[in-house]
Structures are given as structure tokens and as C-alpha cells.
Structure 1
Amino acid sequence: MVKTILKQVKEFKKDSILTPIFMILEVILETLIPLLMAAIIDNGVEKGDMNYIYKVGAIMVGLAVLGLITGMLGGKYGASASTGLARNLRRAMFENIQSYSFSNIDKFSTAGLVTRLTTDVTNVQNAYQMILRMCARAPFSMICAMVMAFLINAKLASVYLIAVILLGSCLLFIMIKATRYFKQIFPKYDDLNASVQENVSGIRVVKAYVREDYENKRFTKASGNIYNMFKKAECIITWNAPLMQFTVYTCILLISWLGAKMIVVNGLTTGQLMSLLTYCMNILMNLMMLSMVFVMVTMSTASAERITEVLNEKSDLANPQNPVMEVKDGSIVFDHVNFAYSKDSEEPVLKNINLDIHAGETIGIIGGTGSAKSSLVNLISRLYDVTAGSVSVGGLDVRQYDMEALRNQVSVVLQKNVLFSGSILDNLRWGNKDATEEECVRACQMACADEFIERFPDKYNTHIEQGGNNVSGGQKQRLCIARALLKKPKILILDDSTSAVDTATDSKIRQAFATEIPDTTKLIIAQRISSVQNADRIIVMDDGKVADFDTHENLLKNSEIYRDVYESQNKGTGDFDENGGDQ
């Protein structure tokens, strides 16, 4: 875990090294000041030597200024190193998430990833800064102060040593008790973020069903869990302060009492006693600083573990050693394909799939909810790897291609595709960042999106809100289809992506595909048979198997499943599934 986190220090290694160096220099300068103060009292004040007082006082001022400068430099480099580490951690996590396959993404919740990128990284950042500054400063300062105290008077200094051992043991016990709670806290942040995310993204549904009170209670419960866990942890940690105060004042009383007796018998000077009291405060306050570092490290340990999980997660999919960079054509072959989302699954989602699709064909895919239609097409662009058998595109197994090259030639339009904040042109250029406005307009005409875009005051420069919340479902789907067309793919997959489009517009889109992109292989998943009946061939899926694969006319004659659905829809009873549903 530590090794994984420290890998991200990278260009901030220099700052990470300079920070403890400057903190140690500050400690050395601060440690000399009490000695000079003792010298002023013993050799200047008691003897009335003003020249000596001015001389040593000037040296003290100089040391104080140098100490201030080194402390400021330590703070500056510490801040640079910690914030740089946080930046690199967020960047590394985000880049690694981009490389995840769908199966990797399924291991983490969206809320959990957001928490890791924000709260957890901030905790590690704060801990790293404290480690660089306080873990270098506090132990070194304690050691220097203890050495100086023993040089002045070993008998009195032993009081510090006993106090440090006792207080250190108590603080260690407190930290161990608090750690158990901190490790439970941060997963609770995931629940809180999930509550906020779902509420904000589904705010229209919340208001439509008047569920504000329910959502408020849900949020209150999630935040209450975090409150209770933090309260328990903080209640334990609050023992730090009274224990520290008790130890400090006990040491001061003992040293003052014993030191006064020694002064009486000339075993100690007044200046030395003042130095010992200063070192007493120095030692115990540095011990308090270390306890705060332990608190922060304890909190950040759980966060660091969660960050490491994201950084160490490797994609299940990888490019071959010498990947093929060009897809010859849009032909697709499924050869005895089995597929399961989990290796531990008792039964595969797809079972013994055998298909041979020619380049340029239009293939319809229908089937009930849960019949694995989406799972079938996800294998074509290698979003998942098959469990057994092979999927070939352009005559080659998809595992032989460079994944980016393959996916650039396979455009997928989902039922719930996403639009991003920005103009319509910005969203369209996700398909092709170099597309001209004329190409964007042409793609929108093919997707029948131009008719509503032209009605907007700003036309193609109209701003789209995050998630496309200011356009209708049908408009969003047509924009996503246009975006996919801009890739000029060899294979176009429409995964129930015209479900929110009226029948007439659906027909226009299919007609445009037939005339404008005849060489592109088109796979159309649909609930309405009217959306696929003009396809060259139609796949009928049933319980993860290909029940039938033929033309519309032949399926009507030979496929009981297809015929039943066709007749039910022609009687006006609806789509393939009575209640529709997601794939």
C-alpha cells in the first residue's frame, strides 16, 4: 500500500526531501535558544553585564529569524509535496479507471469511486504533509531537547523520560482504540454519496412521486451513521488533551520543586532551571504533535487502502503483443460462444452462440428482457471477453485487435446513452473530434435530429445540460445516433436506442441507414418487430440462446416465438415485452 502511494510522488521528490531537512534545521535553531537564554540569565542578568546580554540577545534574535525562515520553507515545500501527491493520485486513479473493462467497473460503485477521488485523497494529502513536517520535526526535536536536558541535569531530565514513556503508552492505546472506528467511517461516505447522487440525478422522479420526505430520511440516516462513528472515534481521541495537560503540569511542578531544592544547595543555576522548563514544554508538546500525526495517519490508512484498491485494479482486458490496427470489414462470426459475467457463475449468460453475419448486412435482434441481447453485442467491441469460443470481426478474433482500433470501428448507441454538458456540436464531436460542422449536420440529418435542432434559437450551438436534461428522451437518442455515425464505423449497434422515438421517425432513420451507409453492418436491438422486420435477417434470442435466425418472412412461418410476438403486437398489445424493460 505505502509503495503504491509513494509511486505517485514523482516530480515532487525534491520537495519531499527538502521539507524534513528544513524542519530539522528549524529544530536545531530552536534547541539552541534555551541554552542562550540560560547563559543570559546566569552570565548577564545575575552579573549585571549588559554588553553580554546585548551580544547574546542579538544572537538569539538571529537564530529566531533563521528558524522562522527555515520553518516557512519547510511549510512551503511540504504544501507543494502534499498537494502534488494528491494531484498525482487523482490523475492516476482517473486514468486507471478509464482503462477498466466493464467487469472491473462493476466491482466499484460510482459513489465509492467519487469518495476515493475526493475525501480519501484529501485525507492522504493531509497525512503526507504532517508526516513530512511533524514526523521529521517532532521526534528530532524531542531527542535534541532530551539530550540537552540530560546534559544540564540528568536527575531532573529523568522526570521527562518517565513522563514520555507513560504518556506515549497511553497515546498508543488511544490510537489503537480509535483506529477501529476510523476504518469503518470511510465506507459510510460511499453510502452518503450514493444517497446524494441518486437524489440529484433522479430529482424529477422524487418530486413526481412526492418522495422528498423519504429521501430526507434516507440522507439523514446516512449522514447520521457518519456522525455516530466520528463521535465515537473523537470521544476516544479527546483523552489526548487532558492526559497531555496533566503530564505537562505534573512535570513542571516536579521540576520546579526539585530544581528549587537543587538551586538552594548550588546543584543547579536559575538559568539552567529555566532551560529545563523550556525543554520540558518542548518535549511534551512535540509528543502531542506526534499524537496528532498518529490520528491523521490512522484516518488516512483506511483511505490509502481504498485508493490502492483502485490503483492496483488491472483491466481484465489487454491488448496482444502485436495487435492488429485495422479492421478489414464489418463481418461478424460467433463460434460456439459461451459467456458469463463472473467466473464463479454456475450458468453462462450466453450459451453456445453460433452466428455468421456478412459485412453490410442489417441484422435485427429481438428477445424478452433478460434474454442476453445486450450481452451478445457487448462481445463484438470486446467490452467483455468470451468465456469460451470466439468472436471474430473482419475475419479476425477480436482479441487480436488493438482495442482502441476495434472500438473506433464499432459504434454502440445505448438505450440510455449519455450526453455531456456543452454545445450540441461538442457532443457530436465525441464521435469524431475533427468533424466539420457540415459533417455534423449530415449525421444529424441521417439520425433525423436536424428537424428539432433547427428549431432551437442557437441551433447546433445550443447548450446541452449535464446528462442531456434539457432535451427529451427521443431527442437525446437521435443525437447519440448522430454521434455514433460520425465515427463512420464498419459496425453500428443500436441497443434499443430508438425506444423513445415515434414509429415514423424510427422508419426514417432505418431508411437513411439503408441508403447512406450500405457497407456498414447494422445490428438493431428492438422491442418492436416493426423496427426490425425489414432487416436482412433477424436473431430471436431466448434465455441466452439463439432460438432462430432468419428473415422476417421465414420466421413468421417457422418460429413460434417470433410469430406469437408479431401477432400480439399487430393486435395492439404492445412491444415484445408487455412491460418493456431494460436490456
Structure 2
Amino acid sequence: MLAILKYIKPYKYLIALIMVFTLIAIMLELYLPTLMADVVDVGIVNEDVPFIIKTGGWMVLFAFFAVLFTIAVAYISNRVALGFARDIRRRLFVKIESFSLQEFERVGPASLITRSTNDIKQIQDVVNMMLRMMTRAPLMLVGGIIMAVSREPVLSLVFLVAMPILVGSIVLIARKAIPLFGLLQKRTDRLNLLLRETLSGIRVIRAFNRVNFEKARFTEANNEYRDTGVKVNRIIAVVFPIMLITMNFTNIAIVWFGAIRIDQGAMQVGNLMAFLQYAMMILMSLIMMSYAFIMIPRAQASAERINEVLNIQAKITDSSTARKLVSDVSKLEFRNVTFHYEGAEKPALDNISFQAKAGETIAIIGSTGAGKSTLVQLILRYYDIDIGKIMVGDTDIRDVKIKDLRNKIGYVPQKASLFSGTIAENVRFGKDDATDTEVIEALKTAQAMEFIEVKEEGIHSHISQAGANLSGGQKQRLAIARALVRKVNIYIFDDSFSALDYKTDARLRHALKQKIEDAIVIIVAQRVRTVMNADRIILLNEGKLVGNGTHEELLKDNSIYQEIVASQQTEGESA
């Protein structure tokens, strides 16, 4: 928790103001019982009406300013807590954005969402509470004890019995609750994961009639969350009856022994009334502190989870010697590249070497799991290789600034990821300052204008979240346009023609040949028809390079390629 609280430093002056205002409010409140005692013991006993009016006026004035300062404290506390939560959320988001895919996959999207929302909300609530209660309660406790003891030292001995009971119950319950709060957040992760999977895969779930299965999974996770929450709240629920009983018995004891002292002439009625008020202040401050100590463990669990993410060191970062890639990229080369996924026994890519030059189209083909997508992701430095080098021009990509490297690449992933907004906004995701003319040119090259032109608003037509109102082929063409608008040196198409019909596929490849003829083009594909006109075809099998040549050369000499071609030959398609 302390590690998270270091981010509250920018608000130190506001926190100081909170403490000053709280101190003033408490001093005013602590003086009210003394004035009330004077009203009873002096004004009422002596029937001094002017004194009663004068003292009552001071009480109203003090109460008004006490309320005013308390409202100011509440406002400033909320502002600090919300600003603090905003800062942490921004830091967490920036940190997550810096992760390589390896770190991202280790924590998981569902858990990262929980940590960025629910966990930060828990800390925000506790910070707000600490600024309001944890500054107020100790000051009121100390002030109340001082005022009570100064008025009636003998009667103050009652607190020696009440306070240990309250403090002991708080400590015991806090120790029991801490482990359960951490478990509760893990249960929240699980719920978020199931919700995310169910909502994103709703079509598949319904298509395979797995609704009841998913209901059962969610019900189980939901019940686990409920059971953990019940345990936590059951423990917390014990606190308040103990406190109420202790408070009530304390009040009974004060009235009992106070009445005896009044009967003995050692104490006045006004003093007893004031002492009761101070006793209530002392006990209320303990209740506020106990509530804070109950909430802090949950925030502690959330803070640990947030710190866990903030303390993760991204494995793929710019080195201290990384430099800007100033020259145009005319060559891309793999030199004996070997790469393992974390925890894998076998390498995903094993001793891969090939070269691609500007103006060349290199196709990568192979069976599922051969390492095709892994290979192109290494170019983008989503992962770092174990052995060998990947050269851009004459520079190892690990010696180039990551941002600069990726600025030279137009990437179209296997799954076309679109964002809610307009078609133009999605295309401009590749280039912020692209004009409408550039957007339309990229869309024409991607063969997307044929379905855009029939829309009333054209390129300004709205796209639903994740492109839900578009077909698979339409989404792929928009993703291709987004890469083309960048006008870069390297274009990577990772199986991004799979949803296109053969006619559109052929037109698109012909248009690409004309528009990006000076760039390095890497096409990952399953279909031989898509890659057969490439300048060279890289054939992968189980992570190894087993073929490198033109379609005709591989068809003539490579048995694995021959098998792939034979498996794809149909009545309407031949190699």
C-alpha cells in the first residue's frame, strides 16, 4: 500500500489543507460540549437568560463553521482521491502498453481489466476515507480524551475498560479479513474472464448449443465470488454489534458513576452532559478508525495486485544504445534465427535464414503451427529472438528504437482488429494526418470501395465495436487499407487474404503489386494460389525452413510443397 501511496505526492499541499481544516473543525466541535455545560451549570441554574442566549449564539456560530470546514474537507478529499486514482490508472495503462506480448499473456486481459478498474476503485475509496476519517478520527480521539480527562479525571477511568475491547476486536477482525480480500479480487478476475469470453464468443456458444454449459461455468464462478464475499462481510458484521454494545455499556457506566458523583456533590449536571458528549466523540472516533482498518486490507490486496503489474519489467525495450533508423529500409534479413516461447520444449523457429530486398514479394507458407505468424511477429519485435539476428538494412533490429522500427512497417494481423468509429477513422489509425484522398486511395487499393460506395455516408460510415456490422472479408480489406495508408518500407500481410474470394484476392494482389512495388512485401498465407506469384516462397515445417524458391522451383523439387499443392487442387483451382 505504501508503494502505491508514493504517487499521492503531487497532492501534498491539498492534503496539508485537509489536515488544517480538519483540525479547525474538530477544535470547534470539541469546544461545543464545554459551552453546553456552561449553559446548564451557569445559565439554567442561575436563570441567566442573557448568558444562555449569548453562549447559545456562540454554539450556533461554532457549529456553522465546523460544518463549513467539514464540507470543505469532504470536497478536497474527493478531489485528491479521484486525481490520485486517475494518475494510477494512467500509469497502469501506460505500463500495460509497454508490455511485450509475453508479459501481456502472462497476466491476462481479464486480470488487467480488473486491476485497472475494480482494484483502483478500491484504493480510491480507501484514500478518500483515509483523508476524511484517518485524519479526523485520531485528532478527535486525542482531543476528546484530553477534554474528558481535564473535566473529570476519575470518570475517565471508564475508558480503560472500553478501549481495549474495541481495539482488540478491530485487530482480530482485520487479521482474519486480509487473506479473504485478496481471494475476493481473484474471484473478480475469474468473473471478468468468463464474462469476456462469453460475450466475445457468443456466436460460437450459440452455434454449438453450449449456452447451458456456459451458464453452469458462470454460476459456479459467481457462487464462489458470493461465498467469499459472504465470509468477508460476516467477519465485518461482527465488528459493529461489538462496538454498539461497548458504546452503550460505556454510556450506562458514565451515567451510573456520574449520577453517584453528582449525588456526592463532586460533579455538576452540565459537566456530566459534556463528558457524555466527549465520550461519544471518543467512541465514534474509534468506530471510524475500525471501519478504516477493515477497509484497508482490501485496498492492500488491490495495491499489491497493481504493484505487481507496475513492477513487471518489460523484456522488450529500447536498449541504452538504441538509435533512430534514419535510412530507408532496402533489405530485411534473418540470420540463423532461433526462437522459443516461454516454457516451450521445442523452438517455434529453428535456425531460420533468408533475405528480402526492396521490390521483392516474399511469401511464407506452411502447415498450421509451422511458425509463420511467429516469424512475422519477430520482425515487429513482439518477441525477441534467442539466437541469431534480424537485420533491417545493415542494423540489428535490437539496436533500433522500437517505435522507429514499427514506423517503417505496415502490419495486417491474422485477425482484423477494428475500432468503433468511422471507416475513415479506422484507416487513419495507420496515419493520423492522412487526407480523405489518401484514405480513399488506400481503400481502392485494398478493394474496399466497392462496399463503401453503397453506404450513404461513404468513408464516414460508422463501424460498430470490433467491426461487428462488417463481414470477415470487409474487415480484412479495411485492415489492409489501414496498413497501406502508412506508405512504409515493409508490408506484412499475416494470412490477411483468407476471407477474400479468389476474384477479390487476385485483384487485390495485382493492385498491391502496382502500389507498393518498391517496398519489401511479406505475405503469410495458407492458400497456394495467393503466394504462387511471389518472387520467392519460404516454406516452413515444424519451425524449420524446408524450402526457399519460386513456385515452379518448389513444385519441381520439394515434396512437402508438392503435398500442399496437391491437397489444395480442386476442380476449379490448379497449380
What TM-score results when the alignment is normalised by the length of structure 1? 0.95
Shift of 1:10: 5.1
Looking at structure 1, the residues matched to 415 and 330 of structure 2 have their Cα atoms a distance apart, in angstroms, of 25
Aligned to 2:469, what secondary structure does the other structure show? Answer: coil
Give the aligned partner of residue 499 of structure 1: 498
What residue in structure 2 maps to residue 45 of structure 1?
Answer: 44
Determine if contact 2:362/2:535 at 8 Å carries over to the other structure: yes
Partners of 1:357 and 1:461 lie apart in 2 by 37
- 2:336 is aligned with 1:324: no
Amino acid at match of 1:507: A
Distance in 2, matches of 1:375 and 1:573, equals 32
Whichever residue aligns with residue 331 of structure 2, its letter is S
Write the mapping of 1:450-489 to structure 2, written as runs, cut at 5 A. Answer: 450-489=449-488
Aligned to 2:335: 335
CA contact (8 A) 1:338 1:386 kept: yes
> Tell me, what secondary structure is at the counterpart of 1:154?
coil
TM superposition shift of 1:575: 12
Instruction: State the secondary structure of the residue aligned to 1:419.
Output: coil
Alpha-carbon distance, 1:209 to partner: 3.0
The superposition leaves residues 33-57 of structure 1 with CA deviations (integer Å, 9 ceiling, x where unpaired) of 1111112211221122222222222
| 1:195 has 2:155 as partner | no
* CA gap 1:349/1:301 in 2 versus in 1, 3 angstroms: same
User: Structure 1 residues 467, 330: closer, same or farther in 2, change over 3 A?
Assistant: farther
TM-superposed CA distance for 1:145, in Å, is 0.7
CA contact (8 A) 1:380 1:393 kept: no
- Cα distance, 1:132–1:572 mapped onto 2, change above 3 Å: farther
Post-superposition offset of 1:14? 2.4
Secondary structure, in 3 states, of the residue corresponding to 2:497?
A: coil
Alpha-carbon deviation of 1:509? 1.3
Q: 1:2: Cα distance to partner?
A: 1.9
Asked whether the 8 Å contact 1:33–1:63 carries over to 2, the reply is: yes
CA contact (8 A) 1:36 1:60 kept: yes
Q: 1:310 offset after TM fit, Å?
A: 2.2
- Following superposition, the deviation at residue 440 of structure 1 comes to 1.2
Letter in 1 for 2:557: N
Match in the other structure for 1:180: 179
Q: Which residue of 2 aligns with 1:293?
A: 292
Partners in 2 of 1:471 and 1:111 — Cα distance? 26
Question: Counterpart of 1:37 in 2: which secondary structure?
Answer: helix
| Whole-angstrom CA distance in 2 between matches of 1:271 and 1:508 | 96
Task: Give 1:15 deviation, angstroms.
Answer: 2.1
Q: Counterpart of 1:375?
A: 374
AA paired with 1:235?
R
Give the superposition deviation at 1:491.
0.7
Amino acid at match of 1:262: R
* Contact 1:327–1:409 under 8 Å retained in 2: no
d(CA) in 2 for partners of 1:130, 1:575: 72
CA distance 1:6–1:487, shift in 2 (3 Å): same
8 A Cα contact 2:430 2:486, kept in partner: yes
Counterpart of 1:525 in structure 2 is: 524
1:155 Cα deviation from its structure 2 partner: 2.0
Amino acid at match of 1:333: E
The SS at the match of 2:125 is: helix
Deviations for 1:468-513, whole angstroms, at most 9, x for unmatched residues?
0101001100110011001112111111111111112111111112
Matching of residues 161-176 of structure 1 within 5 Å? 161-176=160-175
1:401: how far off?
1.4
Distance 2:208 2:457 in 1: 34
Task: Find the aligned partners of 2:330 and 2:469 in 1 and give their Cα distance.
Answer: 35
- Give the structure 1 partner of residue 94 of structure 2: 95
Give the distance between the partners of 1:99 and 1:34, measured in 2 at CA.
Answer: 58
Q: Distance in 2 between matches of 1:253 and 1:363?
A: 89
Structure 1 residue 571: Cα displacement = 4.5
Structure 1 residues 497-543: Cα deviation after superposition (integer angstroms, max 9, x where no partner): 11111112111111112122111111111111111111111111111
List 4+ stretches of structure 1 deviating above 6 A. 572-576
CA distance in 1, matches of 2:361, 2:325: 25
Distance 1:483 1:378 in 2: 18
Q: Which residue matches 1:414? A: 413
% identical aligned pairs? 39
Q: CA deviation at 1:574?
A: 10
Q: Which amino acid aligns with 1:195?
A: L
Moved more, 499-508 or 5-14: 5-14
**How much has 1:314 moved relative to structure 2?**
3.0
Q: What amino acid is aligned across from residue 334 of structure 2 in structure 1?
A: F
1:522 and 1:73 map into 2 onto residues whose CA distance is 63
Partner of 1:117: 116
Alignment of 1:29-428 (within 5 A): 29-321=28-320, 322-342=322-342, 344-428=343-427
1:496 partner letter: D
What does residue range 438-453 of structure 1 map to in structure 2 within 5 Å?
438-453=437-452
Distance in 1 between residues matched to 2:573 and 2:376, nearest whole Å: 24
**Unmatched runs of 5 consecutive residues or more in structure 2:** none
How far did 1:455 drift? Answer: 2.0
Where 2:235 maps in the other structure, the secondary structure is helix
Paired amino acid for 1:94 = F
Structure 2 Cα separation of the partners of residues 569 and 200 of structure 1: 35
Q: Partners in 2 of 1:469 and 1:379 — Cα distance?
A: 30
> TM-score by structure 2 length?
0.96
Name the aligned partner's letter for residue 263 of structure 1.
Answer: I
Change (3 A) 1:503 1:327: farther
SS in 2 for 1:457: coil
Amino acid in the other structure paired with 1:418: S
In the TM superposition, what is the alpha-carbon distance from 1:573 to its structure 2 partner? 12
Equivalent residues of 2:173, 2:294 under 8 A apart = no
Query: Relative to 1, partners in 2 of residues 1:345 and 1:574: Cα closer, same or farther, differing over 3 Å?
Result: farther
CA distance in 1, matches of 2:505, 2:274: 88
Paired with 1:264 and 1:48, the residues of 2 have a C-alpha distance of 22
Instruction: Summarize the alignment of residues 523-562 of structure 1 with structure 2, pairs less than 5 Å apart.
Output: 523-562=522-561
C-alpha separation in 2, matches of 1:57 and 1:413: 77
SS of the residue 1:183 aligns to? helix
Q: Which residue of 2 aligns with 1:579?
A: none
3-state secondary structure, aligned to 1:433? coil
Which shifted more, 506-515 or 6-15?
Answer: 6-15
Superposed CA RMSD: 1.8
Deviations 1:286-325 (A, max 9, x none): 1111111112211111111112222222322222335123
SS in 1 for 2:369: coil
